[in-house]
Amino acid sequence: MGKDGKSCLTRCVHLLDHVIEPFMGSGVVFMNTNYSSYVLADTQPDLVSLLQIIQDEGVFFIDYCEELFCQENNTEEQYYRLRGLFNECTDKRLKAALFLYLNRHGYNGLCRFNSTGRYNVPFGDFKRPYFPRKELLLFHQKSQSVSVAQSDFRKTFAMAKPGDVIYCDPPYAPIITRQCFYYLYWCGI
């Protein structure tokens, strides 16, 4: 969690009961706190789908994802092949596993799509990409009674009731709007 998130939570700590993260990303507040209830929402469909499958399937899906994190898949050639597969993929589970693979093998942990919605992050060339088993398992365990939704922040805000705390970490504006339909830095899980 960043400095802003920490100090904001310290100030609000006595108020916290129901926490809403309308720009969930990897759910950094959710992952690092323990309050009674949470609503997690984001508009990024691949991210939401990945987290919903982890929520439902836990270790079965985590094991499936880990198969992609082998030495043979950590080459430029395989990365671009799997990136192409992700861009064409219609199988929900495979697409979600590939999304995690791309996030960990792509340049700088970046998540970026071009104007036609194709994932276009170049190869990251990491020595040994980290597989976040511990973090994924924790997400599965913690999220069992949590709502994880694909929702625009305006709709999520409308669900808030008096006394709820909304933690906002909105995206940065794209530097080159012409090229980037979507741009986020997914740094948590």
State the nearest-atom distance from the C-beta of 28 to ligand SAM, in Å. 3
Closer to ligand SAM at the Cβ: 27 or 129? 27
Minimum CB separation from ligand SAM for residue 169, in Å? Answer: 4
- Decide whether 48 or 97 has the Cβ nearer to ligand SAM: 48
Of 3 and 127, CB closest to ligand SAM: 3
Residue 25 contacts by C-beta under 8 Å, 6 or more apart in sequence? Answer: 42, 47, 169, 184, 186, 187, 188
CB of 47 to ligand SAM, least distance (A): 6
Kindly state the smallest distance separating residue 6's Cβ from ligand SAM, in Å. Answer: 12
Q: In what order do the strands lie in the sheet with 18-21?
A: 147-150, 37-42, 18-21, 165-166
Least CB distance from residue 110 to ligand SAM, whole Å?
Answer: 12
The residue among 42 and 148 lying less far from ligand SAM, judged by its C-beta, is 42
Query: Alpha-carbon distance 64 to 97, whole Å?
Result: 7
- In the complex with ligand SAM, the residue whose CB is nearer, 45 or 84, is 45
The residue whose Cβ lies closest to ligand SAM is 25
- Closer Cβ to ligand SAM, 74 or 103, answer by number: 103
* Displacement of CA 156 from its chain's centroid (Å): 17
CA distance linking residue 5 with residue 29, whole number of Å: 7
List residues near ligand SAM by CB under 6 A. 22-23, 25-28, 42-44, 152-153, 169-171, 184, 187-188
Percent helix, percent strand, percent coil in the chain, to nearest 5: 50, 15, 40
Please check whether residue 120 is in contact with residue 86, taking contact to mean a CB–CB distance below 8 angstroms: no
- Give least dist CB 188 to ligand SAM, A: 4
Please tell me the distance from the alpha carbon of residue 109 to that of residue 187, in angstroms, as a whole number.
Answer: 7
Strand partners, 172: none
